């Protein structure tokens, strides 16, 4: 299960704190050291973990907490609030441009779950009454277009493709096609690479400047922990992203990516992938995630 190690370690630390009854400053410091270790073991970046604990400590060492009748409870409440704040406010809506269609550009490294999540997003939009169009901009992997057609059919969504034409041209033509056919969302499934390279970024920047997407969503694999956060930072620096889709949260991810992405990039996690099926897409709510981590 996701976050299992982190949840277990935090609850062990809080159990010890509760057992103490009245708390001293050093009890809180000891608990915070455990919280910091738990975060680091969950692959939260060093700076994020350090800042987090400093923030919680500052609030928890206040007289109100230490002198309250249930000090441990107060500390847990502060941890919950700060975890929520760390992951940011909920921003799960896609932007709507002045003139439709809205263009959602899906980016990410190969295998992160881009194609799957393009279809999941189409499926979600269809259920909300929209008319999405999926667009095959990954021209490098021969199987990519076929894969998009398969998942597109499952999501009951048309797939626009032009074989191995240039991705910029495909995106441009897809937009015209969407206007002609009344599609209000265009979802671009762009090419991924094993590593970030200049050619990949160059191509994405060209697509961006040509079709001016309303949302650039970066798809990252939560199982890759801090690497996912580094990928998000690189994409944001080079391309500018609007949000993140964090995938494979149904696996036993330690949680580092979910906890650090917002703090490191300033960009919100908008959706999370919870499985391989079309319906396994959920909006990301920081408060619910914090409560889930704290058990």
Tell me which residues touch ligand GDP (CB under 6 A): 108, 110-116, 192, 219, 247-248, 250-251, 273-276, 280
Smaller CB separation from ligand GDP, 248 or 270: 248
Three-state DSSP at 28 gives helix
Helix H, strand E, coil C: the string for 177-201 is HHHHHCCCEEEEECCCCCCCCHHHH
Select 71 or 108, whichever has its Cβ closest to ligand GDP.
Answer: 108
For the CB of residue 126, give the shortest distance to ligand GDP in the complex, in Å: 18
Nearest approach, Cβ of residue 113 and ligand GDP (Å): 3
243 marked as part of a ligand binding site: no
User: With respect to ligand GDP, which residue has the nearer C-beta, 88 or 275?
Assistant: 275
3-state DSSP assignment of residue 141: coil
Phi, psi of 273 (to 5 degrees): -95, 125
Residue closer to ligand GDP by CB (options 114, 208) is 114
Of 100 and 275, nearer to ligand GDP (C-beta) is 275
Contact 281, 274 (CB under 8 A): yes
Q: Is 287 annotated as a binding residue?
A: no
H helices of the chain, in order, are 4-19, 25-41, 46-60, 63-66, 71-87, 114-127, 142-154, 167-181, 198-211, 226-238, 256-265, 286-294
Minimal distance, residue 257 CB to ligand GDP, in Å: 13
18 marked ligand binding residue: no
Determine if residue 10 is labeled as part of a ligand binding site. no
User: Please, what is the minimum distance in Å from the beta carbon of residue 38 to ligand GDP?
Assistant: 24
Closest contact distance (angstroms) between CB of 197 and ligand GDP is 16
Q: Would you call the peptide bond into 101 cis, given omega within 30 degrees of 0 as the criterion?
A: yes
Residue nearest to ligand GDP (CB): 273
191: left (phi over 0), alpha (psi -120 to 50) or beta: beta
Question: Per the structure block, which two tokens stand in for 3?
Answer: 């976050």
249 is in an annotated binding site: yes
5 is in an annotated binding site: no
Q: What does the alpha-carbon distance between residue 8 and residue 110 come to, in Å, rounded to a whole number?
A: 32
Ligand-binding annotation for 115, yes or no, is yes
Comparing CB distances to ligand GDP, the nearer of 116 and 123 is 116
232 is in an annotated binding site: no
Q: Which of 271, 166, 246 is nearest to 211 (CA)?
A: 166
| Cα–Cα dist 49/47, whole Å | 5
- Provide the minimum distance between the beta carbon of 134 and ligand GDP in the complex, in angstroms, as a whole number: 12
Bind-site residues for GTP: 108-115, 189-193, 247-250
Binding residues are 108-115, 189-193, 247-250
């Amino acid at each position: 299960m996701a976050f299992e190690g982190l949840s277990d370690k935090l609850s062990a630390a809080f159990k010890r704190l509760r057992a103490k009854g009245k708390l001293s400053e050093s009890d809180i410091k000891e608990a915070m050291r455990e919280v910091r270790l738990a975060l680091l073991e969950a692959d939260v970046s060093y700076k994020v973990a350090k800042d987090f604990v400093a923030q919680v400590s500052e609030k928890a060492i206040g007289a109100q907490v230490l002198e309250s009748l249930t000090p441990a409870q107060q500390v847990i409440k502060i941890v919950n609030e700060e975890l929520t704040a760390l992951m940011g406010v909920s921003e799960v809506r896609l932007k709507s441009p002045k003139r439709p269609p809205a263009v959602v550009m899906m980016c990410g490294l190969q295998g992160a779950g881009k194609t799957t999540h393009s279809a999941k997003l189409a499926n979600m939009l269809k259920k909300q009454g929209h008319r999405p169009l999926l667009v095959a901009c990954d021209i490098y992997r021969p199987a990519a277009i076929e894969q998009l057609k398969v998942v597109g059919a499952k999501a009951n969504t048309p797939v626009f493709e032009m074989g191995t034409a240039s991705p910029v041209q495909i995106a441009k033509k897809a937009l015209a096609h969407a206007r002609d056919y009344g599609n209000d969302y265009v979802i671009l499934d762009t090419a991924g690479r094993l590593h970030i390279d200049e050619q990949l970024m160059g191509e994405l920047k060209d697509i961006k400047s040509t079709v001016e997407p309303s949302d650039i969503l970066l798809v990252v694999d939560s199982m890759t922990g801090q690497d996912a956060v580094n990928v998000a930072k690189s994409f944001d620096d080079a391309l500018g992203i609007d949000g993140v889709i964090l995938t494979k949260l149904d696996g036993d991810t330690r949680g580092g990516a979910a906890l650090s992405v917002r703090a490191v990039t300033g960009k919100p996690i908008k959706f999370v992938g919870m499985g391989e099926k079309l319906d396994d897409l959920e909006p990301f709510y920081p408060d619910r995630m914090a409560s889930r981590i704290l058990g």
